[in-house]
Amino acid sequence: MIWVNVTEAKAHLSRYLKRVERGETIVLCRRNVPIAEIRALPKPAREPRPVGIDRGMTIPAAFFEPLPDDLQTAFEGGGEET
């Protein structure tokens, strides 16, 4: 991690950005007081994330069975008033 005053960073921005790309973190200072940090963003994923359930996860058959009548009524806005 290096500390750089804003005026120095402005004068040599390309040089400091190359260091950030190599993995360094730069702390920007104003009159030697830290005010911000510059670091590289995480690299994007190489492969798209799979859609669906987690590998090895199974859904029990009971998941697809109809809900009990009282629970179905509650989901539809019926039931007891509170």
Regarding the domain with residue range 2-38, which homologous superfamily does it belong to in the CATH classification?
YefM-like domain (3.40.1620.10)
Residue-wise pLDDT for 20-50, tens only, equals: 999 999 999 999 999 999 999 988 878 877 7
Q: Residue 53: pLDDT band by 50, 70, 90 thresholds? A: low
Q: pTM surpassing 0.75?
A: no
> Which amino acid type is present at position 24?
E
- The percentage of the chain sitting over the pLDDT mark of 70, rounded to a whole number, equals 94
Which helix (H) or strand (E) is 34 found in, with range?
A: strand 33-38
Mean pLDDT of 55-81: 84
> How large is the average pLDDT for residues 2-12?
96
Neighbours of 4 (CB within 10 A): 19
Decide: 26 and 37 in contact? Cβ < 8 Å.
yes
Domain spans in the chain, listed from the N-terminal domain onward: 2-38
